A and B are shown apart, each in its own frame.
Chain A
Amino acid sequence: MSNPTDVVVVGAGPAGLAAAATLGRHGARVTVVDEQQRPGGQIYRQPPTGHTRTGRRTEAGRALLAEAAAAPHLDWLPDTVAWGVFGTRAGLDDYAGPAPAPGRLRLGVHTPDGGRTLEPAALVLTAGAYDLPVPFPGWTLPGVLTAGGVQTFLKAQGLLPGRRFVLAGGHPLLLVVAAQLVAAGAHVVEVAFSQHLRTLLPGPRDLAAAVGNAAKLAEGAAALRHLRRARVPVRFGTVIRAAHGDPELDGVVLSRVDAAGLPVPGTERTVACDVLALGYGFVPSTELARQAGCAVAWRPAEGGWIVDHDDWMRTSVPGISVAGELTGVAGAEQAEVEGRLAAYGTLQTLGLLDADRAAALARPVRRILARRRRFAAAVLSRFAPDPAALNALVTDDTVLCRCEEVTAGDIRRALCDHPHLGTANAVKLLTRAGMGLCQGRSCQPAVCRLIAEQTGRSPEQIGAFTAQPPVKPVPLASLAAAARQHDDQG
């Protein structure tokens, strides 16, 4: 199938919008593929079409959405899933139907009208991140949500998914979401922060990194002030131990932790609530990049597996660039800057921008990026959860893979019975953990942590579940219809 797209940008969050707008302004024909109905991504999420909500939108979000809306040569495919990249390893052939022109990539997409392919010369992947799922007894009860999920309810339609909220975890987003909940009229019973306060206080190195990043620090400080004013207890060195209720959440057990982050026996207390929001950080959404064959690296402080790239954001696969959280979780501002850099790199590949001009355009962008990265390395990295502390929350009965109902005990037993096994894929094949509808997104971090604890192997040796197409579920009928289209054209 021939189509006039030069570049497909996957994702319409800060990185995708910035990349698409920059590419379009420099004459590239761009198609933006996004799973949501309206652009913005998670952080600049807009209410669905037809809803009018008078929520506040940040200045940065407003500006970026306006810039993308005004950019030329942009084609939008909302409500669309990009599920597989083909031909990056062994090449594309035309013996089974028409093949794209040489040097083009084939991207399988599922749109509201069914399946089709897009065949751009370049791809910019900006799929973002999702909340790190953290298993503990009771975490699969209705009423246990992620902090990001609660925020989505608020941002999309101004909904409160319950009445009495407890927030627990170790990521600064908890404070922001708690303040938003209070502002929206919710009763926030407690915010439990797993770290001790002293480990979070800034040191001299952090103050240097904070130069030029004051807004980010101010946001956290303001949230904390709002919570204090609303008399919401924020307790440090406190973790979630269990959630209970039948059939849905009615309370949680919290306890103190010691200096190593491990629970202190005898300090458990029960708190009544109908929503628990968990915020331990984010996992980069690397599945499409990994499926395409892009090399990845293990960076625990940045969310786990991230996509390797050069200083124009180009991955190991020719034609594919990345920007935003899948290069390491660092927030919207850094994502936007990386999106512009990926666009300048791609424009050079397409011959739409010469090297000198690209270098000049990239200079101010690189300055901002360096500042953001210093900040991320010094400050955000200290919120990365400790694997031993997370493993300590899991009992043998705790379900790790909620789709296939595989418990931690099942995995421990499988590793004992088969001591020669020690990779994520081998454990998946033996236990079915990761084989369900969520395609391993919910359980992979916990399963890999458990394998590491049990076998002493490194995360690199254990690896990740292989990213297989479709990287998001796609109806069989959509794929079948795509086959008939192909036949018609052949």
Chain B
Amino acid sequence: MAHYDTAVIGGGLLGCAIAWHLARAGTRVLIVEKDQVNRHASGQNAGSLHFQLEFRMVEHGDDAARLAARALPLHLDAQRTWAGLEAALGAPCGVALRGGLMLAETPAEVAALDRKAALEREYGLDVQVLGGPQLRELAPYLADTVRAAGHLPGEGKANPRLVTPAFAHAALRHGAELRTGHRVTALHRDGGRWRLSTGDGRSDTADTVVLAAGVWTAELAAMADVRLPVFPVGLTMSATARTAPLLPHLIQHVGRRLSMKQTAEGNVLLGGGWPAKLVTRHGRTDLDRNPELRYESLTGNADAARVVPAVMRLPIIRSWSGMTTLTPDQLPLLGPVPRRPGLHVATGGSAFTLGPTYARLLASTLLGDRPDLPLDDYSPARFGALNFV
């Protein structure tokens, strides 16, 4: 048994990044991870750094888009943070910000693109809608069916294989402790501290606890008798064999589920929100099993890739499923949990793209500083009605 200033539950990007900030500030930090570092969403996603609003945020109409746009101040911050991340960590993370294009193929999609760009510009995100020769010059590889594209020069990609291990490594260098293969089985208040027990009979205490456990956040919160509305969704990603450089930009689509990019090694990665089916066991969702890939998602994602004809000849060499964490309003869930002194949460929203930003802001809260961006819109307090104590 040991005592820590902070126990971070979850060895993903958020947990490791928060631990890095806290350890760097000289506090005593423990990361507890039930599997291995980077084993789940942080390592399974396709590495898009998308600072434009995604298709899933605009597909449900203007009101939903306007609500999702409240995270745009974080997008602006994240653009800057990623640009300086490798220098800050002293490790390669595969960050390449060569611009992103969100494509439109029909007149209705072009109109949606214009509305989206107007909303983004309100928040200071400089998205330009390009068409005609200007677009062809920037992206000669696009299919003729593409009419216009929202262009954001600072978008791009990072390598999900490298980012979280780099944060973990940096945190360990500053004295954080990392315990993998240990699942937290109980979490409660004990003498003004938090006590967390892990399956092996071990128990430790901490002044503050951060739940950064993605889809497992709800069940951990329940151990502290708090209901948090986070929902798992299964996603599909695919990779082609390596090929010569053909796609410098991050590609998304305003009217279909699609994200596409080429890695530094030359693989083209496909994703963009094609569902995988969560596995149930005894009538309940089993979060410990990877979601089952759906044939329709693999073929549908392949079909959406036609906007870049050159990729169609490439072989797909693997597809995989992963889970991400949604909240009812698509906004992050970030900050202190009301009526649970010292309990904090970080999940939801675009948690890979915005992860380094979430981590910095939450760490300043934990260290007693005032975060330099208002976090009220993302606070768990907005779901206070779910909790009676």
Decide if A259 is an interface residue (CB 8 Å cutoff).
Answer: no
For B302, give its contact among A436, A469, A476 (CB under 8 Å).
A476
Q: Is A97 a contact of B291 with CB atoms below 8 Å?
A: no
Most chain A beta-carbon neighbours within 10 Å: one of B265, B293, B316: B316
For B289, give its contact among A84, A89, A91, A93 (CB under 8 Å).
A89
In angstroms, Cα B299 to Cα A474, docked, is 11
Chain A: minimal CB distance from B268 (Å)? 8
- Majority SS of interface residues in chain B? mixed
For A468, give its contact among B161, B306, B320 (CB under 8 Å).
B320
Most chain A beta-carbon neighbours within 10 Å: one of B241, B290, B296: B296
Q: Is B36 a contact of A479 with CB atoms below 8 Å?
A: no
Query: A47 — which chain B residues lie within 8 A by C-beta?
Result: none
Chain A: minimal CB distance from B189 (Å)? 29
In angstroms, Cα B278 to Cα A90, docked, is 7
Q: Are A473 and B241 also in contact (CB < 8 A) when A90-B278, A420-B180 are? A: yes
In angstroms, Cα B296 to Cα A455, docked, is 40
Most chain B beta-carbon neighbours within 10 Å: one of A91, A432, A468: A468
Q: Are A479 and B316 also in contact (CB < 8 A) when A96-B294, A429-B43 are? A: yes
In angstroms, Cα B315 to Cα A476, docked, is 6
Chain A: minimal CB distance from B169 (Å)? 7
In angstroms, Cα B314 to Cα A477, docked, is 8
Most chain A beta-carbon neighbours within 10 Å: one of B295, B305, B312: B295
Chain B: minimal CB distance from A170 (Å)? 31
Chain A: minimal CB distance from B296 (Å)? 4
Chain B: minimal CB distance from A123 (Å)? 15
Q: Is B36 a contact of A426 with CB atoms below 8 Å?
A: yes
Most chain B beta-carbon neighbours within 10 Å: one of A89, A417, A475, A484: A89
In angstroms, Cα B320 to Cα A311, docked, is 33
Work out how many contacts link A and B, with CB atoms closer than 8 A.
124
Q: Is A475 a contact of B314 with CB atoms below 8 Å?
A: yes
Query: A13 — which chain B residues lie within 8 A by C-beta?
Result: none
Q: Is B277 a contact of A90 with CB atoms below 8 Å?
A: yes
B276-299 toward A: CB 8 Å interface, digit per residue (1/0)? 011110000000011111111011
Query: A484 — which chain B residues lie within 8 A by C-beta?
Result: 303
In angstroms, Cα B279 to Cα A430, docked, is 27
Most chain B beta-carbon neighbours within 10 Å: one of A90, A108, A421, A439: A90
A86-120 toward B: CB 8 Å interface, digit per residue (1/0)? 11111101001100000000101000000101000
Q: Is B299 a contact of A483 with CB atoms below 8 Å?
A: yes
Decide if B300 is an interface residue (CB 8 Å cutoff).
Answer: yes
Decide if B17 is an interface residue (CB 8 Å cutoff).
Answer: no
Query: B319 — which chain A residues lie within 8 A by C-beta?
Result: 468-470
Chain A: minimal CB distance from B256 (Å)? 12
Instruction: Please give me the residue from chain A that is nearest to B321 by CB atom.
Output: A468
Q: Is A117 a contact of B36 with CB atoms below 8 Å?
A: no
Decide if A404 is an interface residue (CB 8 Å cutoff).
Answer: yes
Q: Which residues of A328-345 have CB atoms within 8 Å of chain B's CB atoms? A: none
Q: Are A115 and B292 also in contact (CB < 8 A) when A430-B165, A479-B316 are? A: no
Instruction: Please give me the residue from chain A that is nearest to B36 by CB atom.
Output: A426
Decide if B318 is an interface residue (CB 8 Å cutoff).
Answer: yes
- Majority SS of interface residues in chain A? loop
For B296, give its contact among A97, A404, A417 (CB under 8 Å).
A97
Chain A: minimal CB distance from B165 (Å)? 6
Instruction: Please give me the residue from chain A that is nearest to B268 by CB atom.
Output: A476
Q: Is A476 a contact of B296 with CB atoms below 8 Å?
A: no
Q: Are A483 and B302 also in contact (CB < 8 A) when A420-B36, A474-B315, A475-B315 are? A: yes
Decide if A359 is an interface residue (CB 8 Å cutoff).
Answer: no
Count, chain B residues at interface, CB 8 A: 46
In angstroms, Cα B306 to Cα A88, docked, is 30
Decide if B48 is an interface residue (CB 8 Å cutoff).
Answer: no
In angstroms, Cα B159 to Cα A429, docked, is 11
Instruction: Please give me the residue from chain A that is nearest to B237 by CB atom.
Output: A468
Chain B: minimal CB distance from A80 (Å)? 15
In angstroms, Cα B305 to Cα A111, docked, is 21
Query: B306 — which chain A residues lie within 8 A by C-beta?
Result: 480
In angstroms, Cα B295 to Cα A482, docked, is 10
Q: Is B295 a contact of A439 with CB atoms below 8 Å?
A: no
Q: Is B279 a contact of A90 with CB atoms below 8 Å?
A: yes
Decide if A70 is an interface residue (CB 8 Å cutoff).
Answer: no
In angstroms, Cα B296 to Cα A469, docked, is 13
A333-363 toward B: CB 8 Å interface, digit per residue (1/0)? 0000000000000000000000000000000
In angstroms, Cα B314 to Cα A89, docked, is 29
In angstroms, Cα B366 to Cα A14, docked, is 66
Query: B318 — which chain A residues lie within 8 A by C-beta?
Result: 435, 439, 468-470
Q: Is B241 a contact of A437 with CB atoms below 8 Å?
A: yes
A232-272 toward B: CB 8 Å interface, digit per residue (1/0)? 00000000000000000000000000000000000000000
A396-408 toward B: CB 8 Å interface, digit per residue (1/0)? 0000000010000
Q: Is B299 a contact of A420 with CB atoms below 8 Å?
A: no
Decide if B6 is an interface residue (CB 8 Å cutoff).
Answer: no
Q: Are A486 and B320 also in contact (CB < 8 A) when A476-B314, A480-B303 are? A: no
In angstroms, Cα B38 to Cα A320, docked, is 33
Most chain A beta-carbon neighbours within 10 Å: one of B279, B302, B305: B302
Instruction: Please give me the residue from chain B that is nearest to A428 by CB atom.
Output: B161
Q: Are A86 and B292 also in contact (CB < 8 A) when A474-B316, A479-B316 are? A: yes
Query: B294 — which chain A residues lie within 8 A by C-beta?
Result: 86, 96
In angstroms, Cα B301 to Cα A480, docked, is 8
Decide if A423 is an interface residue (CB 8 Å cutoff).
Answer: yes
Q: Are A423 and B299 also in contact (CB < 8 A) when A439-B318, A468-B320, A469-B319 are? A: no
Chain A: minimal CB distance from B300 (Å)? 5
Query: A437 — which chain B residues lie within 8 A by C-beta?
Result: 241-242, 315, 317
Chain B: minimal CB distance from A350 (Å)? 23
In angstroms, Cα B292 to Cα A117, docked, is 17
In angstroms, Cα B305 to Cα A490, docked, is 21
In angstroms, Cα B139 to Cα A69, docked, is 54
Query: A432 — which chain B residues lie within 8 A by C-beta?
Result: 161, 265
Instruction: Please give me the residue from chain A that is nearest to B179 by CB atom.
Output: A420
Instruction: Please give me the residue from chain B that is nearest to A440 by CB atom.
Output: B318
Chain B: minimal CB distance from A319 (Å)? 15
In angstroms, Cα B314 to Cα A96, docked, is 26
Q: Is B314 a contact of A486 with CB atoms below 8 Å?
A: no
Query: A474 — which chain B residues lie within 8 A by C-beta?
Result: 315-316
Instruction: Please give me the residue from chain A that is nearest to B240 by CB atom.
Output: A476
Instruction: Please give me the residue from chain A that is nearest to B270 by CB atom.
Output: A476
Decide if A418 is an interface residue (CB 8 Å cutoff).
Answer: yes
Query: A469 — which chain B residues lie within 8 A by C-beta?
Result: 293, 298, 318-319
Q: Is A473 a contact of B315 with CB atoms below 8 Å?
A: yes
Chain B: minimal CB distance from A272 (Å)? 35
Q: Which residues of A32-59 have CB atoms within 8 Å of chain B's CB atoms? A: none
Decide if B60 is an interface residue (CB 8 Å cutoff).
Answer: no
Query: B300 — which chain A residues lie within 8 A by C-beta?
Result: 96, 483
Chain B: minimal CB distance from A139 (Å)? 21
Q: Is B316 a contact of A470 with CB atoms below 8 Å?
A: yes
Query: A421 — which chain B residues lie within 8 A by C-beta?
Result: 36-37
What are 20 inter-chain pairs, A to B, with CB distance below 8 A? A87-B292, A93-B277, A108-B298, A418-B169, A429-B43, A437-B242, A437-B317, A469-B318, A470-B318, A473-B241, A473-B316, A475-B315, A476-B316, A477-B313, A479-B316, A480-B299, A480-B302, A480-B312, A482-B302, A486-B299
A-B residue pairs, 5 tightest by C-beta: A479-B302, A473-B315, A483-B299, A483-B303, A90-B292
Query: Which residues does A use to contact B, with CB under 8 Å?
Result: 84, 86-91, 93, 96-97, 106, 108, 115, 117, 404, 417-418, 420-423, 426, 429-430, 432, 435-437, 439, 466, 468-470, 473-477, 479-480, 482-484, 486
Query: Given A420-B180, A430-B165, list of 6 further CB < 8 A pairs?
Result: A90-B292, A470-B317, A475-B314, A475-B316, A476-B311, A482-B302
